[in-house]
Amino acid sequence: MKRHIVVALSGGVDSAVAAALLLEQGYRVTGLFMKNWEDDDTDGFCPSAEDYQSARAVAEHLEIPLHAANFARAYRTRVFARFLQDCEAGLTPNPDILCNREIKFDVFWRHAQGLGADLMATGHYARIAERGGVLRLFAGRDPDKDQSYFLHTIDRAVLPFLRFPIGDFTKSEIRARARALGLSNADRKGSSGICFIGERRFPPFLKRYLRAAPGPIYTVDGAPKGHHEGLMFYTIGQRQGLGLGGPGAAWYVADKRLEDNALIVAQGGLHPSLYRPSCRTGPAYWLGPAPAFPWRGLTKIRYRQPAQEVRVEPDPDTPEGLILRFAEPQRAVTPGQSAVFYDAEGVCLGGAVIALAPRTQGIPHPAPERR
């Protein structure tokens, strides 16, 4: 009897080809479309309806059943609420990581089991394979599309039930396969933006949910440079949207100083204040046994960053937290983003949320304003 596998059919080309490959491998395939966002949309931006029509066209072409499920309430409480909390705290969170753990590989998987699924699959560029008799999560073979970074916190108990059919392919190979199959979304643009919320003008969107707290902008030398709209709208290393002109090189965000609600900027993309030799993290999550410390391996501190050499040790001041010491100073180390760990063979070991990068030396506090 064919094993029944439910595929997260999003409307994009990756999940469409994943479903086609599973059919070729002899599975009984069912598509499941998730709707995870349904707030009032004053921007007139509603990707869900278009995505569903694309998913339905794929299902009809492949002659597989398609179900739809609304997980908006779970997404709101388990992902978006945490996202807002982190933004309000001045962090730059990554909701895709939390969405994978809480929705795609938890709520979705339980719903798929209710449909009689033995397994579930997605269109992620990642791989699952045995090493030493244990299933491990590996990076996708295409370094430009590897998405294991977003998967490092999923429940390890779910790994035996997961399939990532496109993990051994490049994006160009997937599009070529989609064209050969005659899929209508073969050349459809890939999605970006906030997970399941899509591409939006970020400040106006966030202002619907959080009250902005404008404040001063200072240079790394302590000179006043203007005013910002709210620290939650900026991220370390950001260039666009600062509204800072004048002669010389462009300005970049070097720090967000929460104690006085100040945005610190530096001129020039290679300014030393944009680089950090180390950082601290919150509690780590491991997809297998934690390595012996101190551990030397590879890390990514953002998606699509080439893996960097790092030395990792426990943080004596944070239970289960870590201290990362980079072999080379890293640009734009951003609290709220995740540091994800890999060994030399591409096994994704786990990761942790960056909590603090040592502040650039020599950034003075400005003298208090006289009233």
Q: Angle at the Cα of 210 (from 356 to 276), degrees rounded to 5?
A: 15
Tokens 């299933």 belong to 135
Structure tokens at 191: 């999605």
Count the alpha carbons within 13 Å of 128 in the hemisphere toward its beta carbon: 20
Which letter, b or e, does each residue of 166-181 get, where b requires 16 or more Cβ atoms within 10 Å of its Cβ?
Answer: bbebbbeebbebbeeb
Burial class (CB in 10 A: 0-12, 13-18, 19+), 190: exposed
Of residues 46, 87, 99, 348, which has the active-site annotation?
A: 99
Q: Let me know if 99 is a catalytic residue.
A: yes
The Cα–Cα gap between 69 and 67 comes to 7
Per-residue burial over 72-90, b if 16 or more Cβ lie within 10 Å, else e, is beebeebbbeebbebbbeb
Backbone φ/ψ region at 125: left (φ over 0), alpha (ψ -120 to 50), beta: beta
| CB 338 within 8 Å of CB 97 | yes
Q: Is 348 a residue of the active site?
A: no
- 322, 281 Cβ separation under 8 angstroms: yes
Catalytic residues: 99, 195
